[in-house]
Amino acid sequence: MPPKKEIMAIFEEQRSEITELVDQYIPLFFASIPDIKRCSVDIELHSEKNKIPNPHAAEEKVISVGMTNNEGETVVFVLNEEERKINKEHIEKEIREFRDEKDLLIAVFQEIGIYPLIITFNGDNFDFLYLDNRAKKLKIDEKLIPFVRTRSQDIYLTHAVHIDLYRFFRQPAMRIYAFGAAYDKVTLDELGKTLLHKEKMQLEKDIWELELEDLIKYNARDAEITIELTTFNNNQAMELIFMLSRITKMPIDDFTRSSVSIWIQNWMYYEHRLREYLIPRPVDILQLKGDTSTEAIIKGKKYHGAIVIEPAAGVWWNVHVLDFASLYPSIIKTRNLSYETINCNHDECKVNKIPETNHWVCTQVPGISSMLVGFIRDIRVYWFKDRAKDKTLTDNERNQSDVIQSSLKVLLNASYGVFGSDNFALYCPPVAESTAALAREAISKTKQYCEEKLGLRVLYGDTDSIFVLEPKPEDIKELEEWSLNTFQIELSTDYVFRYCGLSDRKKNYFGITTRGSPIVKGLMGKKKNTPMLAKKPFEEALVILSEVQTPDELEEAKNKIVKIIQGQMRNISKREFDLEDLAISVTLSKRLEQYDSWTQPLQAAIQLIQAYPEGEKPNIGSVISFIKTKPFKIQNLPIQLSDKIVGSNECSVKPIQLASKTDVDISKVKELLKSTLIQLIDTIGISWEESIEGQKSLDVWFK
DNA sequence: CCGACAGCCCAACATT
DNA sequence: AATGTTGGGCTG
C-alpha cells in the first residue's frame, strides 16, 4: 500500500472530504483478493428430439454432472444404469459412475458442500433449478439439498456463495467497459471462444445418444470452460467481482446478479449512512428538483443529449482526433453536480446557471455524487491508469492496478446515465440533463476555439471528440492547455489518422492511423448482422486502404477495390456462393407476441416454429438467421401475434435452416452488397454506377 | 416488469 | 409515391 502522502498529492485541493475518502478507499483498493477455492457445476440431461427440458417439471433424468475446481481438477458424475464398460484410456478426468440417479445427485450435493464458492453458467434459471426440482421429485432428504430459492429467480446455496456467470457477464457495463465488448452473445460457447479461445465440444448427435466416453468429455469441457471464465487472465473476473463488491458494499451473490443502477445505489447509500445523511425518497427528489427543461432530438427521449458535428464528407489527410478524458464524470466533478446541489435553495446560487436549461447548481456545499464520482475519477486517472501499464512495476502490481482501474471505469461510465434512469434510486433528471448540456458547451467552445483562435478546420466531432485537420504540434499543445484552464478537463490525442474517409452521415467513418491500422465506425460492413458475402470484400478493401501512404497510392487502391467488388458481383450473378454467407443474423429483442410490425426476423421465426413445432421456440435473445427471397405466402400462423399485425402472411425471407440456393432473391443480394460497400467507396470518391456497373448513366453524360 | 443515457443510420413495414 | 413508424445495431 503506497503512503497516503503520495496519493494525496494527486488531488489539487487538500480538502478534508478527500482525505476521508482516501482513508476509506485506499485500504479497500489494496486489500488482497484471495484466490478462493471454488468449483464449477454443469449438468447434462436425457431428453427427446427437439424437446427442451423444463427445469420446473424436471421430468428427465440427470445423466451427467461435471465439476471442475480452480486447481483444474475435473470430476464427472455419470449415470451408468446398465453398468456399461467405460474406456477410460483417453479421458484424463476423474469419473464416478452411478447405477442410480438419486445416489448420483446425493454425491454431487456432497461434493458441492466442499467448496465455499460455486460457479455455474445459468445455474439460476437452469442447472440448479433443475437439480433442486429433480432432487425433490426423487424424494431426496431436504437436508441434503443445498439450494435456497428466493422470491426472484436467484438460487443461493445453504453453505456457500453461488455465482451464476451468465448473470454477471450479461451486464452491459461489464461486457463493454471491463471486457472491451470482446463477446456479443452471452453463451458459454461464445464466452469461451472470445475470452479463453476454448470452445464447446462439437456434437454429431444428441447428448443422450452419446457414448458414455463422449458424454463425459463433453460435460467435462463445459465444466472447464465455466471455471476458466473465473480463472483466466490471473483471475480477472473474480478480482473484478471482489473489487466492485467491496466498493459498492454488496454481497458477492447480490452484486453478480444486479445491474449498474443497483451497484451505484448501494455505493451511494453507504456513503450517505457514513455521513449520517438522510436518504431521500425518489418522489421527494423529483418534487424538489423538478423535471427536465430541454427537448430531446429523438422523440420519446427525456432531454437534449450530445452534439454530433456535421461531418465534412471526403478524404482528409493528417487528421488528429482529440477527445476529453471521461468528459461526463469530469463535468459531474468540476461543476458540483449532484441531486442535492442541483436547483438548490440558496438565492446566491441561482446565478450559477447551466447553459440551455433552467437549472442552476449550488456554489456553497459540495454535492455527494460530485465528490464521489470526482474522487473515483481522479484516483483512476492520476494513480491507477498509469500504474496498470508501468513496466517498472511487477506483473502483480500492474495486474492489481489494472483490475482497480477497470473496476473504477465501470462505475464512472455508469455514473451519469443512472441519474437519467427512472429506476435508479436517486433518479434526478436535471442532473443528467445538466451534465449533457455542459458537455455540449465544452465541445462547442472547443470547436469555436479551433476555428476562430487557431484557424484550424474541424471536420467532425461526436459528444466529446473533435477531428482537426493538419494541426501543428504547437496548436495541439495550446488546445490542451486551453482546455485544462477553461474546463479543468484534459483534452488529449486519441488517434492520428494518416488519412480518414468521412461520409456525409454522422457516426459513419473510417480512418487509417499513422501506424496503418484501420479504425471503422458505424459502417454497415462492420455490423454483426451484415452477411459475410458483403463483409468479406469490405474487409479486403480495408486491408488495401490500410496500406495506402499517399494520395497517389489511394488512386491505385481504388482500382483494386473496384475489381474486388466487381468480382463479388459476378459471383453473385453466377450464384457462386455459400448459402451461409448470405445469412442475415438478427437478435430478437422481444418476445414474438410483442412485435407490432411484421418484420423479417419475425417472419423467419414463425416459419421455424411451423417447421419444428416441438423445437425450442425463438425468444428474447435468440439469434435468427435468414436469407432474402421472392415474396411468398404462408398459412396458419402457429402463435397469436399482436393485434397491430393484421392479415399478414406474406414473407420476404426464409430461415437459413429451411432455405436452399434456389430460394435466393439475387437482386436483393446485389442490393445488399451495394449498400454495404457504397458506404466505404463513396467517401473515397468512387461512384458505384460509373465504376462498378461500368456504365455512365445518361444524366452524367449530359452534365 | 426491469435492468445507465441520447443521437444516428438503415431497411422494411405501415399509413396516408 | 411520399411520409411516418418500428426494430436492430451502432457511436460516444
Beta-sheet strands, E only, within A388-545: 457-462, 465-469, 491-502, 509-513, 518-521
Instruction: Calculate the angstrom distance between C1' of C4 and CA of A319.
Output: 38
Give distance CA A668 / C1' B7 (Å). 29
Beta strands in A228-379 (DSSP E): 308-309, 314-324
Q: How many residues belong to chain A?
A: 703
Instruction: Report yes or no: A60 and A46 within 8 Å, Cβ to Cβ.
Output: yes
Please say whether the beta carbons of A657 and A608 come within 8 A. yes
Neighbour count for residue A634 (Cβ, 10 Å)? 14
Tell me which residue of A430, A432, A437 sits closest to A286, measured CA to CA. A430
Threshold 0.95, pTM exceeds: no
CA distance A675 to A94: 55
Nearest DNA or RNA nucleotide to A465 (CA to C1'): C12
Which one-letter amino acid corresponds to residue A249?
K
Cα–Cα distance for residue pair A307/A53, rounded to 1 Å: 50
**What CA–CA distance (Å, rounded) separates A109 from A563?**
63
In whole angstroms, what is the distance from residue A251 CA to residue A262 CA? Answer: 12
Residues contacting nucleic strand C by the 7 Å CB criterion are A 184, 305-306, 323, 462-465, 507, 520-522, 526-529, 585-590, 594-597, 599, 601
- Orientation angle between helical segments A473-487 and A429-448, nearest 10 degrees: 150
Instruction: Give A468 CA → C3 C1' in Å.
Output: 37
Q: At which residue does the C-alpha cell 488519412 appear?
A: A499
Rounded to an integer, what distance in angstroms lies between the CA atom of residue A699 and that of residue A696? 8
What distance in Å separates the CA atoms of residue A652 and residue A661, rounded to the nearest whole number? 15
Check if the beta carbon of residue A519 is closer than 8 Å to that of residue A511.
yes
CB A277 within 8 A of CB A426: no
Write down the pLDDT at residue A614.
Answer: 79
> Which nucleotides of chain C are near protein (any atom < 7 Å from a CB)?
5-12
> In whole angstroms, what is the distance from residue A245 CA to residue A259 CA?
12
Largest CA distance in chain A: 89
Looking up cell 484424463 gives A92
C-alpha cell at A11: 488531488
Q: How crowded is the C-beta side of A300, counted as CA atoms within 13 Å?
A: 0
Q: Which residue is nearest to nucleotide C9 (CA to C1')?
A: A527
| Rounded CA separation A257/A412 (Å) | 19
Q: Across chain A, how many H-helices and E-strands are there?
A: 22, 18
Question: Which positions ≥6 away from A108 have C-beta within 8 Å?
Answer: A41, A65, A67, A77, A131
In the block, residue with C-alpha cell 451427467: A64
* Contact of A169 with A180, CB cutoff 8 Å: no
Nearest residue to B10 (CA, C1')? A524
Return the pLDDT at A66.
98
How far apart, in whole angstroms, are the C-alpha atoms of residue A234 and residue A97? 34
Element (H, E) at A42: strand A38-45
- CA–C1' A631–B14 (A): 17
Cell of A564: 474486388
Residue A575 DSSP class: T
CA A301, A305, A306, A312 torsion-angle sign: positive
Distance, C-alpha A470 to centroid of its chain: 34
Q: Give the per-residue SS3 of A504-556.
A: CCCCCEEEEECCCCEEEECCHHHCCCCCHHHHHHHHHHHHHHHCCCCHHHHHH
Q: Which residue is nearest to nucleotide B2 (CA to C1')?
A: A423
Instruction: For residues A220 and A72, give the distance between their C-alpha atoms in angstroms, rounded to a whole number.
Output: 11
Exposure on the CB side of residue A647, measured as CA atoms within 13 A:
0
In A261-417, at which residue ranges do the beta strands (DSSP E only) sit? 308-309, 314-324
Q: Are A480 and A492 in contact (CB under 8 A)?
A: yes
Q: What is the mean pLDDT of each run of 10 residues along chain A (703 residues)?
A: 89 89 94 96 90 91 97 97 90 94 98 98 96 97 95 92 96 90 89 94 91 95 98 95 96 95 97 96 94 92 96 97 96 97 97 97 96 96 92 91 92 95 96 98 98 98 98 97 96 97 96 97 94 96 97 94 92 91 92 91 92 85 92 85 78 93 91 93 87 59 42
- The reported pLDDT for the residue numbered A647 is 64
What is the per-residue burial (b if ≥16 Cβ within 10 Å, else e) of A506-542? eebbbbbbeeeeeebeebbbbeeebbebbbebbebbb
Gap between the Cα atoms of A577 and A533, Å rounded: 8
| Rg, Å, chain A Cα set | 29
Host H or E run for residue A65: strand A62-69
Separation between the CA of A330 and the C1’ of B9 (whole angstroms): 29
Q: Where are the beta strands (DSSP E) in A617-664?
A: 623-633, 650-655
CA to C1' distance (Å), from A520 to B6: 21
Residues A348, A363: Cα–Cα separation, whole Å? 8
> Which pLDDT score, from 0 to 100, does residue A695 have?
53
Q: With beta carbons less than 8 A apart as the criterion, state whether A496 and A647 touch.
A: no
Per the structure block, which three cell numbers stand in for A471? 494541426
- CA-to-C1' span, A638 to B13 (A): 21
Are A356 and A294 in contact by the 8 Å Cβ rule? The answer is yes
For the CA atoms of A387, A389, A394, A395, the dihedral, rounded to the nearest 10 degrees, stands at: 120
Protein-to-nucleotide distance from the CA of A283 to the C1' of C7, whole angstroms? 33
The separation between the first and the last C-alpha atoms of chain A, rounded to the nearest angstrom, is 74
Rounded Cα–Cα distance for residues A545 and A685 (Å):
13
Q: Which nucleotide is nearest to A324 (CA to C1')?
A: C12
A351-378 as b/e, with b when 16 or more CB fall inside 10 Å? ebebebbebbbbeeeebbbbbbbbbbbb
* A342 DSSP 8-state letter: B
CA distances to A5, A398, A403 from A71, in Å: 40, 24, 22
**Three cell numbers, residue A383:** 494513480
pLDDT of residue A51: 78
User: Which residue's alpha carbon is at the shortest distance from the C1' of B12?
Assistant: A599
| Measured CA A533 to C1' B10 distance, in angstroms | 18
Residues ≥6 apart with Cβ < 8 Å to A23: A4
> How many whole angstroms separate alpha carbon A237 and alpha carbon A174?
10
What is residue A486's three-state secondary structure? helix
Show which positions of strand B are touched by protein (CB under 7 A): 1-15
What one-letter code names the amino acid at A404?
I
Residue of A224, A205, A217 whose CA lies nearest to A90: A217
**Cell representation of residue A157:** 446455496
